[in-house]
Structure 1
Amino acid sequence: MAFQSDIAPPTVPADYRQWFEITAELSNFGLLLLAENGRIEFSNGKASEFLGRRAEELPGRSFETLIAESDGPEFKALLSRARNAPGARVADVFETSGATGPGLSLEVSLMAVETGGRVLAELRPPAPGRTGETPLSSSALFLEEILAHSTEGIIVADLTGRIIRFNQSAFQILGWPEDEVVGRMILSDLLGPTVVHDVFARLDWDDPRDGPPGLLNPLDVMIMGKSGERLPVNLKASSVKAAGGETAVVLLFTDLRLRAAMARALKETRDYLNNVLENAFDMIITTDLDTHIVSFNRGGERMLGYSRDEVIGRSVEMLYVDPNERRSLLRRMEHFDGAVTNYETRLRHKNGNNVDISLTISYLTDNQGKVVGTVGISKDITARKKAEAELQATKDYLNAIMENTTDMIITTDLDKRIVSFNRGAEKMLGYPRDSVIGVPIEDLYVDPGERQMLARYLDEEEQSVNYETQLVGRDGRVVDIDLTLSHLFNKWGERIGTVGISKDITEKKRVEAELEEKKAELEEAQLLIMHAEKMASLGKLATSVAHEINNPLGGILLFCEMILEDLPEEDENRSDLLQIREQTLRCREIVKGLLEFGRMTGTHFTFIDLNRTVEQGIALFANQVIFQNIVVKRVLDPDLPQILGDSSQLNQVFTNLITNAVDAMDSQGELTIRTRVDEESEEVLIEFSDTGHGIDPDVLPRLFEPFFTTKPVGQGLGLGLSNSYAIVKRHNGRIEVESELGRGASFTIHLPLEALEVSDEI
């Protein structure tokens, strides 16, 4: 829609005071009118807000008292500059002195006006680059800025309905550009004749009930937009008289569509929030400052069993098991910036049962930030607390089992570091648990590599491992244990470490060792008894045979000697007789050996040098070993102490062992003879080691039996080792044999160092 008119727009009235008062409230910045003496004549709402003062406090007040004392001289200088430069605006930033707290930094712009030495002051938060003077040719330009920045539509018209001014907000609401309406008599077209008539008629009333003269109370009316649509607006009107007596009408209007939309949006938001609160599973309670319940949602009804009507207006303390806890909670809020989160407490259900809750509570404030109460959101954690209590009871039960069992229970993490160490472990190993937590488990093993081997085996088998091993106690003692080692898993089945349960079997192992030792001693005793019985029988037989043979041999030898005495040296039979005598003597030595085997008589113990006795035995075979390419290696301890023994009998033993070694090496090899002292057993050791063909393992158990031989027929009677065994036993010693087929044999004689009593054993 367009209007045709040839009438030029009139000029703005010269008296701008009424314009200022009407439009100042529309400004987004603070406005003050300062009298010639610097005191405030007028202030708008924004100025009161920026200065932190009530509107009624400002009139008659010097502006200097509203800023920091240190800024006073600078403000006086700025005021002087403004008055000395009419039409120009000067500005600076000052710190206000707030009435109730720290002030605010404000940019203050001053401009001198033409009437009565007054100065307009504009207050706004400081903006970068907004300092110094800003030229302003007249007060009209200042009013233009007010009109331009007003959020309300402003239309100025004369009494004929001709539009004089039409601001930007009016254009945005109605869609009319300013150049299409200014100077045209279209006010009746916009508002309708009835509304215009009513407005103009009521601007000159004298009835106080209708408001002050020249000011129309707000009306909700319809105004026409450029599209022809009639739009709802809230209209305010005022009359303004110029110095020449002309009257103009100032119309300010607000688009009610926006208000309605905002109201709808606000209602929708409230409905949405109320729906959220009502349908929230958690309990939401608001209270006033006197702890009275203001709201109680459906979640609260469900959680505590009360209807909202039963609790609204009552103290929230009625819901607490301990009413004093609510007061304590409010004190905590003061120390934690007005909010406490995840606070666990107990409320009382309507049926008397306790309800465990997790409460988050904070202050509730109004639009001005003033605290008006509290809002609390609570989760029912009764089931969780019950589950936690049951879990804790289970943990306590398992812990009691772990702590009271006599078995050692140790758990480790994936890095094989100790995580738990029960009381049984403390008693078994002697370590306080605090000293081993975090320590690698390998540190407790006698052989750390054994623990790594067990872990590898457990990884491969993925099952429990039962194993006997040894740990080191705090005092260094070795503890034998029977260990069952298993993987440890969390509730998701992920491996988190190992658990080992061990029994102390140190005493069991000691008893077993003693039993084995006693068993070995018993078996040895049985063997000795059997051997003694066998030797006794053989001794009797040998003695009987020796006596029967010895007498004829004596006769043969006697007659042989007698014949040799009578037989000339050149007699050819003499050599035969000498051969008979030699073989007879040999038979007598054999008989003598049988007699010695049977009786073991003639033993004479003295302190002897074993090295010398060994050398004597070696000397008997000097020619033989050289002839057979056998090397005899002597490793004789020069500090070997003397022992109590029979040198001739021990020489017989040594000779026997050397003979057997030489026979076993088949004319080549090495025989090592070593003497030394074993300090631990307090014994002298004589070792005979050869590089011969060795001894069959099946033969070893019978090696010292009488008449047992591995030599070909005619090369031995099988009495050498048997006699040697008997001689060594008479010295309270023993003979040990080690052999490996194809790699030789080693005979070691053990003789005690201490003075001996002659043994009666055979």
Structure 2
Amino acid sequence: MGGRVLDEEKDSQTLNSGWGQQLLDLLEHVFILKDAKGRLQVVNQQARQLFFSPHDLEEQQADLSTADLLTHLGLAPASAQAVADWWAQDWGTEVVGKGEKLVTTVQGESRVFQWTEYSVQPPASPRLFRFVIGKDVTHVRQAEDHMQEIDKMSLVAEMAAGIAHEIRNPMTTLKGFVQLLQQRVTGQQDYLDLMLSELQRIEFIVTEFLNLARPHSPHSELQNLNQLVEQVSALMQSQAIVYNAAIRVTPCSQPVQVLCDENQLKQVFINILKNAIEAMSKGGTIRMSIHTKPEDAEVTVRICDEGVGMKADQLQRVGQAFYTTKEQGNGLGMLVTSKIIQSHGGRLDIRSTPGKGTCVDVVLQKKP
């Protein structure tokens, strides 16, 4: 439905000054209606501000009133004029609410919906109506969250350099004296063992900070992925036994080569296996498997545990600085892991079910 594009002060009987124009002006998107000859019929406020000067509108406007246009659309002249007169009256419109809401679509996807709700009272009517105008801003919010994560990582990396220098040197001195006391003092071994254990934990955290702060690119070489996964599995078997866990590896049926920094990629698998082991307080089996096809450009290393799993809100925060679900965690392991995988041109896909476990897919580019 349309009418002439005229200044509201010029012609209060056009769609531009009526309820239809008021409604279109509320839209946050550009709305332009033209007739078959390309002449402007309706332009909402967003379009006027972005694309048209008053002079442009005067030159391009069509000589069709609302009633004329309705007649062209098939209404009888008398009915068209009646509708146009009613449509052009001033409708009472008021904003009654606005905000954002996380909704689930019929396809099961979570989306962020930005909405504004209006109350409307038609001319000469006691009835009130309400309508909602909204748009999907999921991608905008995701981009904002991504920028916040970049800022956070930059801050963490800046902090890491200072922390390494301020903490590591005195910590090494303390660790050396505790080890010396272990050899000379009797009857206090439990306390000394606890002190050494906590110092080692601090050392591990500082090392994680250093790994995060180092800006160097990976030193990449061709590696046999089957062999690399087997080596990491053997390395972590002793820690798995402590938690009554077992690691089962299913290699790819064919040789798979990837261009990677061997030590960094091993660190990725160690971090993921360590999380999997600690998630299974009652023991269980961790399954590592390698999946690809000859025609595929990618290879996937899948690591699945039988641990406590994670809820959807926890899963969304995996990889954020300082976020952890473990009592003794620091939230840096998966952040470092994500950074390494990104530097290798790969990605992490994580799926989790509370009470059943978590699967982590490390997807890498393979070399023929």
> Shorter-chain TM-score category?
0.5 to 0.7
2:187 & 2:229 partners in 1: Cα distance? 42
**Structure 2 residue 232 is the aligned partner of structure 1 residue 617:** yes
- Structure-2 change in CA distance of 1:751 and 1:702 (3 Å): same
- Partner Cα distance (2:241, 2:196) in 1: 30
Among 549, 556, 567, which residue is 2:167 paired with?
549
Counterpart CA distance in 2 for 1:568 and 1:704 is 38
Map residues 46-445 of structure 1 onto 2, 5 A cutoff.
none
Change in Cα spacing, 1:571 to 1:717, as seen in structure 2 (3 Å) is closer
Contact preservation (8 Å) 2:209, 2:332:
no
Which of 154, 158, 164 aligns to 1:540? It is: 158
Residue 527 of structure 1 and its aligned partner are, at CA, apart by: 4.8
C-alpha separation between the residues in 2 aligned to 1:607 and 1:579?
42
Deviation for aligned residue 1:673:
0.7
Of 226, 245, 252 in structure 2, the residue corresponding to residue 630 of structure 1 is 245
SS at match of 1:652: helix
CA distance in 2, matches of 1:584, 1:690: 29
Unaligned runs of 5+ in 2: 1-135
Question: CA–CA distance in 2 between the matches of 1:580 and 1:670?
Answer: 32
Listed as ranges, the matches of 1:414-493 within 5 Å are none
Q: How does 1:704-743 map to 2 (within 5 A)?
A: 704-712=319-327, 715-743=328-356
Using a 3 Å threshold, how does the CA distance of structure 1 residues 709 and 630 change in structure 2: closer, same or farther?
A: same
- Give the TM-score normalised by structure 2: 0.54
Q: Which residue of 1 aligns with 2:366?
A: 753
| SS of alignment partner, residue 281 of structure 2 | coil
Correspondence for 2:311 among 676, 682, 696: 696
C-alpha spacing 1:592/1:602, structure 2 compared with 1 (3 Å): farther
Larger Rg: 1
Cα distance in structure 1, aligned partners of 2:182 and 2:247? 46
Q: 1:694 to 1:622 in 2, by over 3 A?
A: same
Quote the offset at 1:735 in angstroms: 0.2
**In structure 1, what is the equivalent of residue 38 of structure 2?**
none
- Once the 2 structures are TM-superposed, how far is the Cα of residue 579 of structure 1 from its aligned partner? 7.3
Q: Distance in 1 between matches of 2:242 and 2:248?
A: 16
Q: Is 1:592–2:210 an aligned residue pair?
A: no
Q: Distance in 1 between matches of 2:364 and 2:199?
A: 37
Shift in CA distance, 577/626, structure 1 to aligned 2, threshold 3 Å: closer
Of the three residues 232, 240, 255, the one matched with 1:640 is 255
Where does residue 659 of structure 1 map in the other structure?
274
- Shift of the alpha carbon at 1:637? 0.6
Matched residues in 1 for 2:150 and 2:214: separation? 12
Measure the CA separation in 2 of the matches of 1:543 and 1:606. Answer: 28
Q: How many residues align?
A: 231
Distance across 2 between alignment mates of 1:613 and 1:676: 14
Matched-pair contact (CA < 8 Å) for 2:341–2:347: yes
- Distance, in Å, in 1 between the alignment partners of 2:196 and 2:244 is 33
Query: 1:640-685 CA distances to partner (integer Å, 9 max, x unpaired)?
Result: 3221111111111111111221222222322211112255651111
1:690–1:745 contact (8 Å) kept in structure 2: yes
For residues 608-629 of structure 1, the C-alpha deviation after alignment (integer angstroms, 9 at most, x for no partner) is 1222222222223323433444
User: In 2 relative to 1, CA 736–582 (structure 1 residues): closer, same or farther, beyond 3 Å?
Assistant: closer
In structure 1, what is the Cα distance between the partners aligned to 2:339 and 2:325?
19
Separation of aligned partners in 2, 1:710 and 1:648: 26
C-alpha distance in structure 2 between counterparts of 1:698 and 1:541, whole Å: 27
Stretch moving more, 722-731 or 617-626 = 617-626
* Structure 1 pair 601–590 and aligned structure 2 pair: CA distance change class (3 A): farther
1:574: how far off?
10
Q: Partners of 1:589 and 1:536 in 2: how far apart?
A: 20
The match for 2:299 is 684
Q: Using the alignment, how far apart are the partners of 1:549 and 1:685 within structure 2?
A: 38
SS at match of 2:150: helix
Question: 1:579 & 1:602 partners in 2: Cα distance?
Answer: 37
Q: 1:569 and 1:676, CA in 2 relative to 1: closer, same or farther beyond 3 A?
A: closer
Q: What amino acid does structure 2 have at the position aligned with 1:669?
A: G
Deviations 1:439-488 (CA, angstroms, capped at 9, x unpaired)? xxxxxxxxxxxxxxxxxxxxxxxxxxxxxxxxxxxxxxxxxxxxxxxxxx
* Counterpart code for 1:687: R
Is the partner of 2:312 in helix, strand or coil?
A: coil
Distance 2:182 2:220 in 1: 46
Cα 1:742/1:682, change in 2 over 3 Å: same
Q: Equivalent residues in 2 for 1:499-510 (5 A)?
A: none
- CA shift digits 1:227-284 (9 cap, x unpaired): xxxxxxxxxxxxxxxxxxxxxxxxxxxxxxxxxxxxxxxxxxxxxxxxxxxxxxxxxx
The SS at the match of 1:620 is helix
Q: Which amino acid aligns with 2:364?
A: L
**Offset at residue 746 of structure 1 (A):** 1.0
Query: Which residue is equivalent to 2:56?
Result: none
* CA deviation after TM superposition for structure 1 residue 571, in Å: 5.7
Task: Write the letter of the residue equivalent to 1:737.
Answer: I
Deviation by residue 1:77-121 (Cα, 9 ceiling, x = unmatched): xxxxxxxxxxxxxxxxxxxxxxxxxxxxxxxxxxxxxxxxxxxxx
Contact 1:603 1:649 in 2 (8 A): yes
Q: 1:584 to 1:625 in 2, by over 3 A?
A: closer
Supply the distance in 1 between the matched residues of 2:310 and 2:196 (Cα, whole angstroms): 38
Following TM superposition, by how much is the alpha carbon of 1:577 offset from its aligned partner in structure 2, in angstroms? 7.5
Match of 2:125 in 1: none
Q: Is the 8 A contact 2:348 2:362 kept in 1?
A: yes
Q: CA deviation at 1:729?
A: 0.5
Does the aligned pair in 1 maintain the 2:211–2:336 contact within 8 Å? no
> Which consecutive residues of structure 1, in runs of 5 or more, have no partner in the other structure?
1-515, 756-762
Any idea what SS the aligned residue of 2:320 has? coil
Q: Note closer, same or farther for the CA distance 1:711–1:584 as it changes in structure 2 (3 Å cut).
A: closer
Is this contact kept in 2: 1:542–1:595, CA < 8 A? Answer: yes
CA distance in 1, matches of 2:309, 2:272: 14
Corresponding residue for residue 530 of structure 1: 148
Cα deviation for residue 705 of structure 1 reads: 0.4
Identify the residue that residue 387 of structure 1 maps to in structure 2: none
TM-score by length of 1: 0.28
Q: Partners in 1 of 2:342 and 2:213 — Cα distance?
A: 15
Question: 1:670, 1:691 within 8 Å by CA — same for their partners in 2?
Answer: yes
Q: How far apart in 2 are the matches of 1:726 and 1:612?
A: 23
Aligned residue for 1:625, secondary structure, equals helix
